[in-house]
């Protein structure tokens, strides 16, 4: 496996998420992860400002008469100027409202991999399962990302995001089980049997849905809601404020929609493999990080009648790395 494969350094796993871009690469017996916000913001150009950014090693590009700061640092500058960060991707695919979306993703990919030239390395990147009615958008996104990564010098393939979670977290069950990735733009789900995907799907209620809905309800910015959610929100039986209550209500709406979609999709499978034992379900993605999420999700799941038995509901050890780790497993299988 990847921990001992001497060729591992020639492979890259890449999670192209709406909220974050994460890379995974082997170094000796370790896996090194790089992660950055998939976001940017613009500030007025001046030679002084550009000089300061260079001195502080803050990633940026010059565009017209503006400086575009991208990655993690974009949130700091957006907060400084009381604006929202801008997103190169929306609901798992390139954002059609941002003309520079592909350029920004390219810059962030180079930032997380530390490479401007892939030098022929095998690279596997995640793609979302298409939400209902959005198949064409996913196909176009996949084609654009494939072309961009090939131009960077990689030998490229893609993997559905839910299947990447299975590859990253379910070696012990021979890659049989349900992988769930709750990200920013989408929740992706895949049922895999012995590494072969039985089905993949996604729903558009995810982290961004929670942030935007709670922001509208409370008259706050989505960036501010996201910060509160990540810093202080938890499921502990009571809410510290009305903002926490709003976040909790929309989290519950996401969980209910996700469990219902899993139930309905399982019930609709025409040729379900014969499962001799209950299967595991693994939760991954940034939106599962809040304290109490796993218990909240499992409670809803156990109260729902499913056509297959679930052995356990497990939180990935590092949920934000699961998709990139699984993409790395897929990339290394090609070496």
Neighbour tally for 96: CB within 10 Å: 10
Question: Looking at residues 115-129, what average pLDDT do you find?
Answer: 94
Task: Using the structure block, give the residue that is written with the tokens 């209500």.
Answer: 249
Return the CATH fold of 8-39+77-167+321-332: Nucleotidyltransferase; domain 5 (3.30.420)
215 close to 252: Cβ distance less than 8 angstroms: no
Query: For a pLDDT cut of 90, what percent of the chain falls above it?
Result: 83
Q: Tell me which CATH homologous superfamily contains domain 170-315.
A: ATPase, nucleotide binding domain (3.30.420.40)
pLDDT of residue 2: 35
Is the predicted pLDDT of residue 323 greater than 90, yes or no?
A: yes
Is the predicted pLDDT of residue 221 greater than 50, yes or no?
A: yes
Is the predicted pLDDT of residue 6 greater than 50, yes or no?
A: no
Question: Looking at residues 299-322, what average pLDDT do you find?
Answer: 97
The pLDDT confidence band at residue 81, using thresholds 50, 70 and 90, is confident
C-alpha 156/C-alpha 197 separation (Å) is: 20
Which range (129-138, 183-192, 231-240, 253-262) has the least confidence?
129-138
Identical fold, 8-39+77-167+321-332 and 170-315:
yes
Question: Looking at residues 277-301, what average pLDDT do you find?
Answer: 97
Is the predicted pLDDT of residue 154 greater than 70, yes or no?
A: yes
Is the predicted pLDDT of residue 7 greater than 60, yes or no?
A: no
pLDDT of residue 82: 81
Question: Looking at residues 8-28, what average pLDDT do you find?
Answer: 91
C-alpha 186/C-alpha 264 separation (Å) is: 18
Neighbour tally for 307: CB within 10 Å: 10
- E strands in the chain: 11-16, 20-27, 30-37, 40-44, 60-63, 66-70, 89-90, 93-94, 122-127, 155-160, 177-182, 187-193, 196-203, 279-284, 310-315
pLDDT of residue 83: 84
* 207 three-state secondary structure: helix
The pLDDT confidence band at residue 240, using thresholds 50, 70 and 90, is confident
Question: Looking at residues 174-188, what average pLDDT do you find?
Answer: 97
What would the pLDDT profile of 33-54 be if each residue is shown by its tens digit?
Answer: 999 999 999 999 999 999 999 9
- Sequence spans of domains, the chain: 8-39+77-167+321-332, 40-76, 170-315
Query: For a pLDDT cut of 70, what percent of the chain falls above it?
Result: 96
Question: Looking at residues 241-268, what average pLDDT do you find?
Answer: 96
Question: Looking at residues 168-189, what average pLDDT do you find?
Answer: 97
Is the predicted pLDDT of residue 163 greater than 60, yes or no?
A: yes
The pLDDT confidence band at residue 9, using thresholds 50, 70 and 90, is low
pLDDT of residue 4: 36
The pLDDT confidence band at residue 132, using thresholds 50, 70 and 90, is low
Is the predicted pLDDT of residue 3 greater than 80, yes or no?
A: no
| CA atoms within 13 Å, Cβ hemisphere of 200 | 22
pTM of the predicted model as reported, rounded to 2 decimal places: 0.93
Positive or negative, the Cα torsion across 322, 326, 331, 335? positive
Between 81 and 9, name the one with better pLDDT: 81
The pLDDT confidence band at residue 133, using thresholds 50, 70 and 90, is low
């Amino acid at each position: 496996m990847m921990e001992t494969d001497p060729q591992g350094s020639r492979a890259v796993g890449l999670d192209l998420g709406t909220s974050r871009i994460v890379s995974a690469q082997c170094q000796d017996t370790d896996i090194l992860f790089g992660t950055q916000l998939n976001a940017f913001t613009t500030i007025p150009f001046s030679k002084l400002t550009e000089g300061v950014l260079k001195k502080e090693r803050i990633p940026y590009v010059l565009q017209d008469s503006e400086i575009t700061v991208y990655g993690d640092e974009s949130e700091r500058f957006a907060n400084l100027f009381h604006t929202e960060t801008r997103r190169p991707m929306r609901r798992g695919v390139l954002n059609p409202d941002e003309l520079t979306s592909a350029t920004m993703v390219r810059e962030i990919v180079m930032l997380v991999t530390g490479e401007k030239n892939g030098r022929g390395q095998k690279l596997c990147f995640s793609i979302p399962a298409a939400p209902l009615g959005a198949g064409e958008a996913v196909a176009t996104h996949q084609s654009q990302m494939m072309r961009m990564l090939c131009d960077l010098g990689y030998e490229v393939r893609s993997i559905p995001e839910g299947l990447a979670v299975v590859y990253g977290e379910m070696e012990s069950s021979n890659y049989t089980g349900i992988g769930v990735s709750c990200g920013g733009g989408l929740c992706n789900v895949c049922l895999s049997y012995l590494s072969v995907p039985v089905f993949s799907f996604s729903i558009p209620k995810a982290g961004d849905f929670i942030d935007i809905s709670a922001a509208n309800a409370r008259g706050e910015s989505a960036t501010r809601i996201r910060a509160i959610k990540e810093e202080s929100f938890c499921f502990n039986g009571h809410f510290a404020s009305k903002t926490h209550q709003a976040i909790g209500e929309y989290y519950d709406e996401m969980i209910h929609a996700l469990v219902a979609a899993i139930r309905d999709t399982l019930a609709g499978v025409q040729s379900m493999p014969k499962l001799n034992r209950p299967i595991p379900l693994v939760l991954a993605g940034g939106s599962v990080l809040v304290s109490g999420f796993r218990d909240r999700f499992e409670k809803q799941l156990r109260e729902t009648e499913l056509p297959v038995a679930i052995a356990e509901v497990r939180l990935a050890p590092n949920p934000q790395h699961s998709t990139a780790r699984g993409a790395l497993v897929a990339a290394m299988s090609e070496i």
